[in-house]
């Protein structure tokens, strides 16, 4: 591979990185892959793989620079070795791009006139199937581009990723020349799809703007503590304690404004289920507040005498009666559990004191507050579109998505901004309001059309009552009812494409062998 091709592949990676919320030049994503596509012209499958990896490496390394901070806080790896973790992670995730573009090169070798619609299929099918610790989608960068994100209520963010790649390949094909009639037909078809996506998005945005204006305003209290992330369960600093933490004092200040609920972020350990005295104290405080409280804690339960530990959202209804729990269902691998550790009892015994292995929650929950149905999700879970949609399902009326996070693991970086941007898409996908309370900010409230009703400043302590629009009769979408329809359709078409390409390759080789034997 020559310097020119290396430069083009790297340039695509840089454009991709600059489109992330880290830098917020989201419009660059619509042209980011064009340099790479020019570089791939007349190249081998192996070369396409290498160039795809180069693009992916720079895109991830620059866009996810904050992984170095995470490795320092969580893994206690100091500079400069922490950047080694960033490089290793970038190389691992870059394999996605290598696989995508090598497959694309293989397919267009056998179907040279059909590559415009095949690349988006390959991209979405592979990108959504590749396991990564820090889950992301291309569409996360488009959360402020409101007309572009409206139709994800039908497809999820997967459809937006499809359109982004489609725009890139259409522009590339235009600049590269459209020689065959089949390519021209594909270009026209692709442009029609793109037009429908954006015109439909613009129409939907206007419709939702008018609809939301007529909704009631509801007040909710948000506590953003900006406390340092820590692997230890240390006690609060005086004058506060586990039974009366800073969050409770801030909640008492907000109570006079009569919000429907007060929400705390993920991040601090109180021990409500560990010590009965803490539970009693919290029940007493919430009873005095006379306002429902939703907080986060590490909890334990002992069904059938077997102790289980959970990462939990905890709901105090405010009437002094009972406590309700949602246990996190999607855990962070190697952070909240070690994959397959339970299958190897000897390894578990040897590493038992050195690993965190929280148990997995079993079901979605709803916290009912008057006519609002809060659907809690914890941090990492908000990055999984279909999983979140399952919690809304076909019963979306009156639901509000609630995400509680601790993003202090990544330092004062853009990681929390990227997390919030991804969460904003969950609001549009499911057409419900979304409240994302992040320990170190930026916390925010997003309307069902993707507009921010509020966004708090990051890296500072904030306690605030915020109003947002709500309608108990609204909520839910095609995507929330059928979260796998579009994605499974793409995957089915992808498998058909791979089978057809393999068949063409087999036929070509058979013809070559027949020709050689006859000569």
Q: What is the CATH number of the domain that holds 395?
A: 3.60.110.10
Cβ(32)–Cβ(8) below 8 Å: no
Residue 345, pLDDT > 60, answer no
Where residue 347 falls among pLDDT bands split at 50, 70, 90? very low
Average pLDDT over residues 249-272: 95
Q: Is the pLDDT of residue 511 over 70?
A: no
The phi, psi pair for 133, rounded to 5°, reads -70, -45
- Tell me the torsion sign for CA atoms 469, 467, 223, 374: negative
For residue 34, pLDDT over 80 is answered with yes
Average pLDDT over residues 248-273: 95
> Do residue 458 and residue 499 come from a single domain?
no
Looking at the structure, do residues 201 and 139 belong to the same domain, yes or no? yes
Q: Return d(Cα 124, Cα 112) in angstroms, integer.
A: 20
pTM of the model: 0.92
Q: What is the mean pLDDT of residues 177-190?
A: 83
- Regarding whether 205 and 231 lie in a shared domain, the answer is no
Q: Are residues 246 and 205 in the same domain?
A: no
Are residues 287 and 141 part of one domain? no
Q: Are residues 197 and 250 in the same domain?
A: no
Grade residue 228 by pLDDT with cuts at 50, 70 and 90.
confident
Residues 32 and 118 in one domain: yes
Burial environment of residue 80 by CB neighbours within 10 A (0 to 12, 13 to 18, 19 or more): exposed
* Residue-range definition of the domain harbouring residue 238: 215-481
Is the same domain home to 158 and 276? no
Alpha helices by DSSP H, listed for 111-156, are 115-127, 146-149, 152-155
Q: Which residues of 487-511 are buried (b: 16+ CB within 10 A; e: fewer)?
A: beebbebbeebbeebeeeeeeeeee
Question: Is 329 found in the same domain as 460?
Answer: yes
Q: What are phi and psi of 375, to 5 degrees?
A: -110, 100
Task: Assess whether 264 and 404 both reside in one domain.
Answer: yes
Per-residue confidence band for 351, with pLDDT thresholds at 50, 70 and 90? very low
Please tell me the total count of domains within the chain. Answer: 2
Residues 96 and 67 in one domain: yes
- The answer to whether residues 9 and 55 belong to one domain is yes
């Amino acid at each position: 591979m020559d310097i020119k091709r290396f430069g083009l592949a790297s340039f695509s990676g840089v454009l991709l990185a600059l489109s992330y919320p880290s830098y917020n030049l989201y419009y660059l994503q619509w042209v980011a892959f064009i340099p790479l596509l020019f570089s791939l012209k007349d190249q081998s499958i192996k070369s396409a793989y290498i160039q795809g990896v180069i693009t992916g490496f720079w895109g991830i390394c620059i866009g996810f620079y904050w992984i170095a901070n995470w490795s320092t806080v969580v893994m206690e790896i100091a500079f400069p070795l922490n950047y080694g973790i960033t490089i290793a992670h970038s190389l691992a995730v870059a394999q996605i791009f290598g696989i995508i573009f090598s497959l694309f090169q293989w397919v267009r070798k056998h179907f040279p006139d059909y590559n415009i619609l095949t690349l988006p299929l390959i991209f979405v099918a592979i990108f959504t199937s590749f396991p990564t610790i820090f889950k992301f989608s291309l569409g996360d960068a488009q959360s402020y581009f409101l007309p572009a994100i409206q139709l994800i209520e039908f497809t999820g963010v997967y459809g937006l990723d499809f359109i982004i790649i489609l725009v890139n390949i259409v522009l590339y094909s235009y600049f590269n020349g459209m020689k065959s009639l089949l390519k021209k037909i594909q270009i026209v078809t692709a442009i029609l799809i793109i037009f429908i996506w954006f015109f439909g998005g613009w129409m939907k945005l206007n419709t939702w703007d008018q609809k939301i204006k007529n909704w009631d305003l509801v007040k909710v209290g948000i506590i953003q503590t900006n406390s340092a992330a820590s692997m230890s369960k240390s006690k609060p600093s005086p004058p506060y304690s586990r039974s009366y933490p800073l969050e409770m004092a801030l909640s008492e200040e907000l109570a006079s404004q009569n919000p429907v609920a007060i929400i705390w972020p993920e991040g601090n350990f109180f021990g409500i289920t560990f010590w009965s005295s803490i539970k009693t104290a919290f029940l007493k405080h919430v009873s005095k507040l006379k306002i429902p409280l939703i907080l986060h804690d590490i909890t334990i339960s002992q069904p059938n005498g077997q102790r289980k530990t959970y990462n939990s959202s905890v709901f105090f209804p405010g009437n002094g009666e009972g406590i309700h729990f949602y246990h996190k269902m999607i855990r962070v691998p190697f952070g909240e559990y070690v994959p397959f550790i339970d299958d190897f009892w000897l390894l578990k015994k040897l590493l038992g004191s050195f690993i965190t292995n929280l148990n997995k929650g079993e079901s979605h929950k709803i916290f009912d507050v008057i006519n609002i149905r809060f659907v809690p999700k914890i941090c990492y879970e908000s990055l999984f579109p279909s999983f979140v949609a399952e919690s809304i399902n076909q019963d979306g009326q009156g639901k509000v998505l609630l995400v509680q996070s601790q993003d202090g693991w990544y330092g004062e970086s853009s990681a929390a901004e990227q997390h919030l941007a991804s969460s904003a898409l969950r609001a549009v996908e499911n057409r419900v309001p979304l409240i994302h309370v992040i320990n170190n900010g930026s916390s925010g409230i997003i309307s069902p059309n993707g507009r921010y009703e509020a966004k708090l400043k990051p890296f500072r302590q904030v306690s605030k009552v915020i109003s947002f629009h709500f309608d108990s009769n609204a909520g839910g979408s095609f995507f929330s009812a059928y979260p796998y329809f579009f994605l499974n359709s793409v995957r089915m078409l992808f498998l058909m494409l791979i089978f057809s390409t393999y068949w063409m390759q087999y036929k070509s080789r058979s013809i070559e062998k027949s020709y050689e034997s006859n000569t």
